[in-house]
């Protein structure tokens, strides 16, 4: 692996002059002192014990021989797993070398042993493939973190953040710390709040993002800002959500959309180059409408093609009521999947009919190797019809066409899930392949049909496309935003927008969102005020660091990119947080627990 | 100034192709586009307007001439301070150059003007010396941050943190994010707490430091950890305290004290070298006892000498009851201060008698230029006596000896204040001079006389000196700790300790501090548990970033090193935080405000 951060200095201290990861044949016959943990003790019998000594940097083999030193040998008999040792000894070339270990050519003939600490038997094995379940690993996270597999993710995270800072610093971005104790804004997700002892009855909030502060920094003329920063959201948790998460938060002044896309495309390309030595091609810009039309998702996984093909016009008028009555009939073509068995097709049908997806059924057309077409709707459509479908799908003999239908938006979402599932089954979602793009031109607003009002799709500071501003009054739902998401392998890793920088337009936006003037003033007055004193055109983006790292690490969950994550109930089971407070603490905060709820 | 971060890339966007800080004679006759704020409009009459256009990078002079373009000239007449402009024009050599401005050789003959935003008149002037008071500056912090004087501090902060990260990364330190939502520990300062909606009646706490987590990372074998991290303390605020503050938090395994002192002395030397091109000499290690004896402080300002001299033995038995009855008589010698007038000496006496300092009086001895000695206690002491005093003080003709007496510890503290005041008056506390040292061998415990029990001076995880461990039972107050502070110019910028890594010793420490076994288990059980699985010897340090930056910036307060500071009541007056919550929010948190208090 390509190393980003150059380690320039040897690890050396009064406890050791080498690490367990660096000795090789060049050191033979040198006396060295190492310190680390016992990974394994192998008692060979015949008066020889081998001990694998582990530290962050590697594993080195120690040799205790009865013949050489009976006392030491006796002591080594008592060593257990995870004991902490300091050893001094002579480096010797190994008889049977281990090519898989960088230190596998040598071993240490120990002549001095200090047991720095003993260890009880750990509740699970400290190996890449551990026998510990999730709950046990979380309770003993400090032992789980000893496993290479977990530690490497955090080393990766450190390299990615360091390189991000270098990239941005070299381009005149200033990292500015914004406050963690801020004001609560009831819009958006729920805030975590912090009672103020000095201001009884009042609360700070923890920031969901530094959005307002970074915009104020632009008003201040900071020009280019970034921050790698903890953010907080009090949401019901899912596997991939944490109550605290980290963003790479950025903002720039005097830029248009292409400026900011290029700047941050450059960042991600640099990370891939330095970390994985991959030269990514330029990222396509895909309008939101196109993403929905061809992938049924605003974060399409473009590692594989299999775009949606609309068949409505070709399927109508053949007495197949299901298609005839559907607003939308869409297909995907799975290359080479005509070999799918009846059982596999039934499984796919079950898959799309699961309540989480909610399709009524699945239609398939098999393009047999002999050129004939077989479908589950042969009753209604002849070879000629199917031929037309397959031509539009650009299908070849050996391919499988899968068709869903229904209300457009719903059917597209279902087809999206089907496409991802089939892509997965066909091995098209390779974790070592990376496909990046920008999705642009998002709608500005989203209608909550129940409440009958519009919400900002991104946030209320996102600017509408200039040519769409007149629609704000006549057809708000049609207004497109200057908003963009970066998508990698079907995951939204970052998103942002050009901001409104005119206080009149900002006011209009708040009104469109149903704010009264008083409420807008109360919550965002300082921002609208700030805009009165010369706000520059500005734009920004925020990346979810946890997700970005998990993509680089090839992990499905963000949890193992985080040193001390919370579980799905928002608990840290290791330190047992949250917990009850002393009555004194509650008193000082002028709070009472409401037991009636 | 020596620049740490190399800016490798030109600032260029679709709004501008140059900044306001970079054009010079080499650009003459080029057409350029700039964007920025109107710093000043000078109407010369005769159809010429000069406009100073400002951005983060500098100021460039724009010229609007009626002769060249009457329309543009007319528009320029309407420009006001802090308007945001985009201008295109031709670079021309100035007739009267301004050598104080990097762009002072040129000006721009504007041929295109876009007013990107207008501005109301700011509530104070955007100048280095502003007419805005503190309250106004804080309310309009976004305008205050436009001032070079404030922005430069934040640029400095960015450079220092970047260089800190580089230094530590090159030495294999891993930056690991520890959680912000942690468990409350009633020891130490007050915690800010965060009610958990998902766990009704329970609270997270915000960390006062990542102490426990970084020690767990050492148990995990992370070997070298750091983090630049926000910490929180709910204390009554002083001028130099903020409820949220930033630490450079570090921990290392397999090190002894000199390892860690050298590592972080190296960091601070590197920062001084890269930022100020100063080569600092090695930092002296001064035992706590010596610091108290010679400076009356555990954070002596060693930019100047003026060490304490004990005179008790020389002053006794001459019928001066004040000295005779005092446990301690101590002097400082102010070089060249014999010229102090009676009025100045009275002022110094008033200074030490202020209630914050609390001395009963001040005795002085003037070593006149002619060699005679004059004192305020001539009644009791003859020339011969005074001669002996002055010899011990190594005083010369022209010097002034100042003497305080009383109970040792109190008198030393008072003498410390006097020394700092006199040093200030004599110009010995130069902000451009830097004197760094380590204070070591702190006492492990501090007795709270009122409660009659011992508290950890540093924190309960600090290890006692091995040779002092037997004293833990017999004379706890005499036990010295493996603890150290870094002091620069009389300010404690960082501190740390070698940690206890043995669960038995840790348990004993908790008992000494009056914890019951249950309480220790409840609060720190996971740490003591962790120690059972092989904890390595480890040690750490934390620097107060805000203070460190303020020393580099030559500021007295940390406030202007922070983008959005809180005031002395812990309020952010700009966003108006803290504030009241909606009843719905309180309900969801199962909380009630206790109005009875």
Asked if residues B542 and B260 have their Cβ atoms less than 8 Å apart, the reply is no
Same domain flag for B392 and B490: no
User: What percentage of residues in chain A have a pLDDT greater than 70?
Assistant: 98
pLDDT bucket at B187, cuts 50 / 70 / 90: low
Beta-bridge mates of residue B521: none
Tell me the per-residue pLDDT of B77-127, one tens digit each, with 9 for 90 and over: 999 999 999 999 999 999 999 999 999 999 999 999 999 999 999 999 999
CA distance B385 to B313: 11
Q: How far is B18 from chain A, CA to nearest CA, in Å?
A: 11
DSSP for residue B443: B
**Strand extents, DSSP E, A150-192:** 174-175
Same domain flag for A212 and A244: yes
Same domain flag for B495 and B568: no
User: What percentage of residues in chain A have a pLDDT greater than 90?
Assistant: 83
Are residues A574 and B84, on separate chains, in Cβ contact within 8 Å? no
pTM value is 0.96
| Strands B538-544, B244-253: pairing kind | antiparallel
Domain residues for the domain of A348 are 304-425
CA distance A329 to A316: 10
Asked if residues A356 and A420 have their Cβ atoms less than 8 Å apart, the reply is no
Same domain flag for B252 and B202: yes
Q: Residue range B480-500: average pLDDT? A: 97
At A483 the three-state DSSP class reads strand
Q: What is the DSSP string of B93-129?
A: E-SS--TTSTTTTEEEEEEEEEEEE-BPPPSS--SSS
Are residues A536 and B589, on separate chains, in Cβ contact within 8 Å? no
Contacts of A174 in chain B (CB under 8 A): 154-155, 158
Q: How far is A355 from chain B, CA to nearest CA, in Å?
A: 27
Are residues B564 and A213, on separate chains, in Cβ contact within 8 Å? yes
pLDDT at B134 over 90: no
Q: How far is B286 from chain A, CA to nearest CA, in Å?
A: 21
Which of B347, B358, B466, B336 has its CA nearest to residue B407? Answer: B358
pLDDT at A197 over 50: yes
At A42 the three-state DSSP class reads strand
Q: How far is A266 from chain B, CA to nearest CA, in Å?
A: 12
Number of residues in chain B: 597
Residue B1 confidence (pLDDT)? 42
Which of A5, A546, A555, A132 has its CA nearest to residue B179? Answer: A546
Burial class (CB in 10 A: 0-12, 13-18, 19+), B152: middle
Whether B295 is in a domain gets the answer: no
Structural domain count, chain A: 4
Which of A529, A460, A551 has its CA nearest to residue A209? Answer: A460
Contacts of B533 in chain A (CB under 8 A): 82, 119-120, 122, 140, 142-143
Q: How far is B358 from chain A, CA to nearest CA, in Å?
A: 29
* Residue to substitute from B36, B203, B228, interface A, most A β-carbons within 10 A: B203
pLDDT bucket at B563, cuts 50 / 70 / 90: very high
Whether A374 is in a domain gets the answer: yes
Q: Which residue has the tokens 């006011």?
A: A507
User: What percentage of residues in chain B have a pLDDT greater than 70?
Assistant: 98
Beta-bridge mates of residue A522: none
Same domain flag for A337 and A409: yes
Whether B6 is in a domain gets the answer: no
* Range of lowest pLDDT (A129-133, A187-191, B67-71, B293-297): A187-191
Helices H / strands E in chain B, number of each: 17, 23
Mean residue pLDDT across chain B: 94
Beta-bridge mates of residue B45: B48
Tell me the per-residue pLDDT of A84-105, one tens digit each, with 9 for 90 and over: 999 999 999 999 999 999 999 9
* Residue to substitute from A53, A169, A538, interface B, most B β-carbons within 10 A: A169
User: What are the angstrom distances between the C-alpha of A40 and each of A36, A76, B156, B498?
Assistant: 12, 12, 49, 29
CB atoms within 10 A of CB A93: 13
Are residues A155 and B174, on separate chains, in Cβ contact within 8 Å? yes
Whether A9 is in a domain gets the answer: no
Which of B221, B176, B165, B170 has its CA nearest to residue A156? Answer: B176
Same domain flag for B418 and B526: no
Are residues B202 and A564, on separate chains, in Cβ contact within 8 Å? no
At B501 the three-state DSSP class reads coil
Same domain flag for B420 and B497: no
Are residues A594 and B590, on separate chains, in Cβ contact within 8 Å? yes
Helices H / strands E in chain A, number of each: 17, 23
Contacts of B440 (CB under 8 A, 6+ apart): B257, B261, B285, B286, B287, B288, B483, B484
Burial state string for A413-444 with b = 16 or more CB within 10 A and e = fewer than 16:
bbbbbbbbbbbebbebbeeeebbbbbbbbbbb
Residue A519 confidence (pLDDT)? 86
Burial state string for A551-573 with b = 16 or more CB within 10 A and e = fewer than 16:
bbbebeebbbbbbbbbeeebbbb
Q: Nearest Cβ partner of A581 from B154, B193, B198?
A: B193
User: Minimal Cα distance from B140: which residue of A?
Assistant: A530
Asked if residues A418 and A402 have their Cβ atoms less than 8 Å apart, the reply is yes
* Residue to substitute from A7, A13, A136, interface B, most B β-carbons within 10 A: A13
Tell me the per-residue pLDDT of A442-458, one tens digit each, with 9 for 90 and over: 999 998 888 888 889 88
Same domain flag for A326 and A370: yes
Asked if residues B208 and B544 have their Cβ atoms less than 8 Å apart, the reply is no
- Backbone phi, psi, residue A564, to 5°: -130, 80
pLDDT bucket at A4, cuts 50 / 70 / 90: low
Rg (CA), chain A: 30
Burial class (CB in 10 A: 0-12, 13-18, 19+), A198: middle
User: Minimal Cα distance from A164: which residue of B?
Assistant: B162
* Residue to substitute from B11, B36, B87, B195, interface A, most A β-carbons within 10 A: B195
Q: Nearest Cβ partner of B180 from A6, A169, A244?
A: A244
Same domain flag for A214 and A247: yes
Q: Residue range A243-271: average pLDDT? A: 98
pLDDT at A6 over 80: no
Which of B578, B555, B556 has its CA nearest to residue B566? Answer: B578
| Dihedral sign computed on CA atoms, order A276, A282, A288, A291 | negative
Are residues B158 and A141, on separate chains, in Cβ contact within 8 Å? no
pLDDT at B4 over 70: no
Q: Residue range B487-511: average pLDDT? A: 94
Tell me the per-residue pLDDT of B32-77, one tens digit each, with 9 for 90 and over: 999 999 999 999 888 999 999 999 999 999 999 999 899 999 999 9
CA distance B116 to B86: 7
User: Minimal Cα distance from A85: which residue of B?
Assistant: B536
Whether B245 is in a domain gets the answer: yes
| Dihedral sign computed on CA atoms, order A375, A380, A381, A383 | positive
Tell me the per-residue pLDDT of B326-383, one tens digit each, with 9 for 90 and over: 999 999 999 999 999 999 999 999 999 999 999 999 999 999 999 999 999 999 999 9
CA distance B230 to A179: 9
* Helix, strand and coil in chain A, % to nearest 5: 30, 25, 45
How far from chain centre, in Å, is Cα A506?
Answer: 32
Whether A596 is in a domain gets the answer: no
CATH number of A388's domain: 3.30.1360.30
Sort residue B279 into left (φ over 0), alpha (ψ -120 to 50) or beta. beta
Which of A448, A560, A415, A15 has its CA nearest to residue B224? Answer: A15
Domain stop point among A392, A425, A458: A425
Which of B256, B270, B323 has its CA nearest to residue B161? Answer: B270
Number of residues in chain A: 597
CATH number of B575's domain: 3.30.930.10
* Residue to substitute from A51, A52, A117, interface B, most B β-carbons within 10 A: A117
**Strand extents, DSSP E, A151-259:** 174-175, 193-195, 203-205, 224-232, 244-253
pLDDT at B498 over 70: yes
DSSP for residue A5: S
Same domain flag for B367 and B267: no
Domain stop point among B537, B556, B578: B537
* Range of lowest pLDDT (A29-38, A462-471, B450-459): B450-459
CA distance B361 to B425: 19
CATH number of B87's domain: 2.40.50.140
CA angle in degrees (0–180, nearest 5) for B444-B450-B453:
40
Counting Cα atoms < 13 Å in the Cβ hemisphere of A52 gives: 15
Whether A297 is in a domain gets the answer: no
Contacts of A9 in chain B (CB under 8 A): 170-172
Residue A186 confidence (pLDDT)? 66
Tell me the per-residue pLDDT of A300-348, one tens digit each, with 9 for 90 and over: 999 999 999 999 999 999 999 999 999 999 999 999 999 999 999 999 9
Q: Nearest Cβ partner of A578 from B119, B196, B212?
A: B196
Whether B524 is in a domain gets the answer: yes
Same domain flag for A553 and A496: no
Contacts of A580 in chain B (CB under 8 A): 201-203
CB atoms within 10 A of CB B546: 23
CA distance A580 to B539: 31
Tokens of A482: 């200057």
Residue A1 confidence (pLDDT)? 42
Asked if residues A525 and A185 have their Cβ atoms less than 8 Å apart, the reply is no
Contacts of A594 in chain B (CB under 8 A): 586-587, 590-592
Same domain flag for A308 and A421: yes
């Amino acid at each position: 692996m390509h190393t980003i951060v150059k380690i320039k200095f040897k690890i050396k201290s009064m406890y050791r002059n080498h690490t367990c990861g660096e000795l090789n044949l060049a050191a033979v016959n040198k006396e060295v002192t190492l310190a680390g943990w016992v990974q394994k003790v192998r008692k060979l019998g015949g008066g020889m014990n081998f001990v694998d000594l582990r530290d962050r940097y590697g594993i080195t083999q120690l040799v205790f021989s009865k013949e050489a030193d009976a006392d030491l040998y006796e002591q080594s008999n008592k060593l257990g797993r995870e004991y902490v040792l300091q050893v001094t000894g002579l480096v010797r070339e190994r008889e049977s070398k281990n090519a898989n270990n960088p230190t596998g050519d040598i071993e240490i003939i120990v002549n001095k042993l200090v047991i720095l600490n003993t260890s009880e038997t750990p509740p699970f094995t400290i190996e890449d493939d551990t026998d510990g379940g999730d709950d046990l690993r979380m309770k003993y996270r400090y032992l789980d973190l000893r496993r290479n597999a977990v530690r490497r993710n955090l080393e990766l995270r450190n390299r990615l953040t360091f390189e991000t800072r270098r990239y941005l610093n070299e381009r005149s971005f200033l990292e500015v710390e914004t406050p963690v104790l801020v004001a609560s804004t009831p819009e958006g997700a729920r805030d975590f709040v912090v009672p103020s002892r000095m201001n009884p009855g009042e609360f700070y909030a923890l920031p969901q993002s530094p959005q307002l502060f970074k915009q104020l920094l632009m008003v201040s003329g900071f020009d280019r800002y970034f921050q790698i920063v903890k953010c907080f959201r009090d949401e019901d948790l899912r596997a991939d959500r944490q109550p605290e998460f980290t963003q790479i938060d950025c903002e720039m002044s005097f830029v248009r959309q292409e400026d900011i896309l290029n700047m941050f495309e450059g960042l991600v390309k640099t990370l891939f180059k330095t970390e994985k030595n991959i030269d990514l091609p330029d990222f396509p810009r895909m309008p939101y409408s196109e993403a929905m039309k061809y992938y049924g998702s605003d974060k399409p996984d473009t590692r594989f093609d299999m775009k949606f093909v609309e068949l409505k016009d070709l399927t109508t008028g053949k007495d197949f009521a299901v298609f005839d009555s559907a607003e939308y009939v869409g297909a995907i073509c799975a290359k080479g999947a005509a070999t799918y068995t009846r059982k596999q097709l039934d499984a796919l049908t079950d898959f799309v009919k699961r309540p989480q997806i909610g399709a009524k059924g699945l239609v398939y057309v098999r393009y047999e190797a002999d050129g004939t077409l077989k479908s589950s709707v042969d009753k209604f459509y002849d070879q000629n019809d199917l031929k037309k479908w397959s031509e539009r799908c650009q299908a070849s003999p050996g391919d499988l066409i899968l068709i869903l239908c229904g209300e457009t938006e719903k059917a597209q979402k279902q087809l999206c899930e089907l496409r991802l599932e089939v892509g997965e089954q066909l091995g098209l979602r390779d974790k070592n392949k990376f496909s990046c793009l920008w999705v642009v031109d998002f709608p500005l607003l989203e209608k909550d049909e129940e409440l009958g009002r519009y919400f900002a799709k991104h946030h209320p500071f996102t600017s509408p496309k200039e040519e769409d501003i007149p629609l704000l009054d006549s057809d708000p739902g049609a207004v497109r935003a200057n908003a963009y998401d970066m998508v990698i392998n079907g995951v939204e890793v970052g998103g942002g927008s050009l901001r409104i920088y005119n206080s009149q337009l900002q006011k209009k936006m708040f009104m469109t969102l149903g704010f009264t003037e008083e409420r807008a003033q109360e919550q965002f007055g300082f921002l609208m005020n700030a805009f009165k004193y010369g706000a520059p055109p500005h734009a920004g983006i925020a990346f979810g660091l946890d997700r970005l790292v998990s993509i680089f690490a090839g992990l499905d969950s963000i949890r193992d990119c985080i040193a001390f994550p919370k579980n799905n109930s928002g608990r840290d089971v290791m330190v047992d947080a949250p917990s009850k407070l002393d009555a004194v603490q509650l008193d000082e905060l002028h709070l009472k627990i409401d037991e009636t709820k």
